[in-house]
Structure 1
């Protein structure tokens, strides 16, 4: 039971990045309509947004 709870939510070997920057997830089984991959646009998290802003020295 602990091993099941400790595993990741997604299988990393099924993730890939398309040429246009989208992230593709290959599903284990195709959907009834024949879809085999889900594609999403990457989104910047708060940590990445903060790291891209120039830092100001207050000294």
Structure 2
């Protein structure tokens, strides 16, 4: 192997690592966004359920 092959392999390995890291980050953000949306929906459902219970108990 000559020097150019070593440099090319190193740059390719660096690119692979960066691509892998970026995929992890995107997945993490997607997961956290999904969890955040889920928690918002659960909170909204709980508030709606409490409001419905209040409505039923007052009527």
Q: Please give the range of the TM-score, normalised by the shorter of the 2 chains.
A: under 0.3
Name whichever structure is richer in helix by fraction.
2
Give the TM-score normalised by the residue count of structure 1.
0.27
Q: Highest CA radius of gyration, 1 or 2?
A: 2
Name whichever structure is richer in strand by fraction.
1
